[in-house]
Amino acid sequence: MGEFQHSIDSKGRLIIPAKFRDQLGSKFVITRGLDGCLFGYPMDEWRVLEEKLKKLPLNKRDARSFVRFFYSAATESELDKQGRINVPKTLRSHAGLEKKCVIVGVSNRFEIWSEERWNSFTDEAEENFDEIAENMIDFEF
């Protein structure tokens, strides 16, 4: 959990917060996320997710499309000695990553956002937070 600001350089290298590094292990996966961000998963969490995705019905177009889109840009990553990852161009384009980025810890993953998209998301979520919470009343915790 947490929110951290870092810049991505012209080669696509981005510092991953020290707080996340130990939990990620030596290798992890980053891929396209929802809402215009990237998702990053430690390998054990990625394997759990893969098992769930395998159970999606292949006869459903939406399931096939989602799995293709999600997996096609997935890449195994590792940290360099400075605690950076190299974000491939496909993923940078998907998330609109150009300079300023926000890395957010969310449950079993981390997310990478462009600062602009993150600010838009948080502005909207903050404005509608009470309504969002009310709509989740039937969600079992």
Per-residue model confidence as pLDDT tens digits over 57-102: 989 999 899 899 989 999 999 999 999 999 999 999 999 999 999 9
Q: Which CATH architecture has domain 2-135?
A: 3-Layer(aba) Sandwich (3.40)
In this prediction, residue 140 carries a pLDDT of 61
Distances (CA, A) of 37 to 13, 27, 138, 140: 16, 20, 27, 26
Chain segment 6-49, per-residue pLDDT in tens: 999 999 999 999 888 888 888 999 999 999 999 999 999 999 99
pTM (predicted TM-score): 0.88
Q: 3-state DSSP call for residue 115? A: helix
